[in-house]
Amino acid sequence: MSRFETELSKRISELSETPSRALLMLRLAAYRARKGDINDARQIIARLRDLYELEGHAQLMAYINFAEALCEFFDVGARPALLKLKRSQALCVGCPAEDDLPALVAAWAASLYRILGDWDGLQAATEVLLVGKYAVSGEVLCRFRLVFADCLQEIQEYEQAEVWYRSTRRESLAIGDETVLGALLYNKSAIRVFNVRVDEVLGKSSDINRCGIALEAASAENLALYAHDVSMPWVFDMLAGQLMLMRGDFEGALGRLDSEKARDLSRRWPGVDLVRRADLLRAKAALGMFTSTQILTELRELKKHCQGGSYFGDCAIAAYSLALSVSDIDQEEFHDLRKIAGD
């Protein structure tokens, strides 16, 4: 149990069954959702919703919707989570001035908008944090700084991103929240892999060994194991599988990309699953596991999902991977997929 969770549990144990205790219980539920203890988090939320829903307590309902939003994010995906965050934000008008929840909701909303590529939403959420006169806690600072670091990492401002990652790391250590440190290590390496793969589409070369991605990815996975963080176990298979693929280790890539944890992504993360399936076809084609007919059949099914999706980066990466899988058997498909990726 992390120091963050231990201290929160201690504060809860010192209070009787009151709204004040319920607020802390909901913060605990939100934390457990971040660790992947979704069932436990939902049980806490359901009990407190039953107890307080009829009382019209706006602050409590804001907390309930916030905790539910994190359950949705780690269990279902970003879009359903945003709906809950918006409800929580509306109910935050009932929060007293010393409550950090309005700022925390805005910080999480900014993070989800970045993931979805909704830059207008990201700007609006960030303005709430920068302009609004809300209470700010260490937890808010962690989430807020991580958003800035991830944004800078995404536009390849790596030195500036590192400044914000270091700041996030210091704050996470100060409050004893290991899940933030795990998210930092994973986001940093995952976004770098994404950028390398987009550069590959654009004809730019990157040395994945020199930029330390593999070491950061392994560190993130080891920390998750140490902290018993099972919130998104598939992310490490995706990350490791992509790194193996880019190095030409197609057998290793198959083992990670086709793991049991990585297979159930289409409902929650369709863009990520599209990349996974395209990479699987690329690896199987390279290993001679499919006939030309089988490759083309699978390719044409996946190709339909590379056009018109809102997750443009994932579509580009998937189309490029599909192009490589067919480069030796169908030049027309190869050039068409390269064009889709480039567009």
Q: Give the model's pLDDT for residue 148.
A: 96
d(CA 44, CA 25): 7
Q: Give the model's pLDDT for residue 17.
A: 79
Q: Give the C-alpha distances (Å, rounded to integers) separating 265 from 22, 31, 116.
A: 34, 23, 16
Residues 6 or more apart whose CB falls under 8 angstroms from that of 315 comprise 271, 274, 305, 306, 307, 309, 340, 341
Q: Give the model's pLDDT for residue 138.
A: 95
For the whole model, what pTM was predicted?
0.90
d(CA 122, CA 114): 6
Q: Give the model's pLDDT for residue 303.
A: 93
d(CA 157, CA 276): 27
Q: Give the model's pLDDT for residue 130.
A: 86
> pLDDT by residue for the chain (343 residues), tens digit each?
789 999 999 999 998 878 999 999 999 999 999 999 999 999 999 999 998 887 878 999 999 999 999 999 998 889 999 999 999 999 999 999 999 999 999 999 999 999 988 999 999 999 988 887 899 999 999 999 999 999 999 999 999 999 999 999 999 999 999 899 889 989 998 999 999 999 999 988 776 665 567 777 777 778 777 777 777 778 888 999 999 999 999 999 999 999 888 887 767 788 899 999 999 999 999 999 999 999 999 999 999 988 766 678 999 999 999 999 999 999 999 999 999 999 9
d(CA 263, CA 243): 18
Q: Give the model's pLDDT for residue 223.
A: 76
Q: Give the model's pLDDT for residue 308.
A: 65
Q: Give the model's pLDDT for residue 231.
A: 73
